[in-house]
A = this chain, B = another copy of it.
Amino acid sequence: MKNYELVLHRVEADLAAGRLRLGGRLPGERSLAEQLGISRPSVREAVRVLEAMGIVRTATGSGPEAGAVIVAEPAAPLTALLRLHLATDHLPMGDIVQTRVLLESWTAREAARQVGGSDPASGGLETAEELLERMDAPELSPEEFHLLDAEFHVALSALAGNVLIAAVMSSLRTAIHGYVLAAVPNLADWDATAVGLRAEHRSIVGAIRSGEGDQAAALITAHIEGFYRAAQLR
């Protein structure tokens, strides 16, 4: 085991045992180095890894003895991980599309089961509906539209209440954002595409609202697969 990995294992064990808690601080650099018998640069490398993994946050200027604050933010590091592996070209885009279809058809079905038939003014669909209204603005650039679109899909996924699936979904969506934008010129007619996407979004929300889970799952599957086909994303 490399020296910086000693720190990761120690932090994992301390978290699991409740000796470290959210909002608390890691011991300072010198203290960790002494306790584990390793150099301070090795501790610093480990803290960077923990930071990249969304376990701690370090403030600039607070000094190495202030200790990094424990946070729990899995979505950003998962995004970074997926982006890097997408870039290596050993993670095919087709597998990502298939994964999105699997996760999002499940979350749409679950959302329909949980919020279906509820009062239109409640149930958590408001965020998604508000995003649809913002996507109606005709002056949006493809980039602005896709950012709202991504937020809309993430909002739907969150309705199912599974933090892991929501984090994976959100990371997938963010990780492929650049690829989606780069593919916009492949679309024959962006304005026509946007009209179609808006209508599809509304029918998905309608199916969830009325509790038709199978229908919502089928619509979101066709929506995702249709866009990747039209944009020739590979």
A residues bordering B, Cβ < 8 Å?
2, 4, 8, 11-13, 15-16, 22, 41, 44-46, 48-50, 52-55, 60, 70, 72, 74, 77-78, 80-81, 83-92, 95-96, 98-99, 102-103, 106, 162-165, 168
Contact = CB atoms under 8 A, between A and B. Distances in A.
Stoichiometry, as copies per complex, reads 2
B72 A90 contact: yes
Contacts of A106: 102
Nearest to A2: B60
A164 B96 CA distance: 7
Contact of A44 (B11, B41, B86, B95): B41
Nearest to A87: B15
Given A48-B48, A74-B81, 13 more contacts: A8-B80, A46-B48, A49-B52, A50-B84, A53-B80, A53-B81, A55-B85, A78-B78, A81-B81, A90-B163, A92-B163, A95-B162, A99-B162
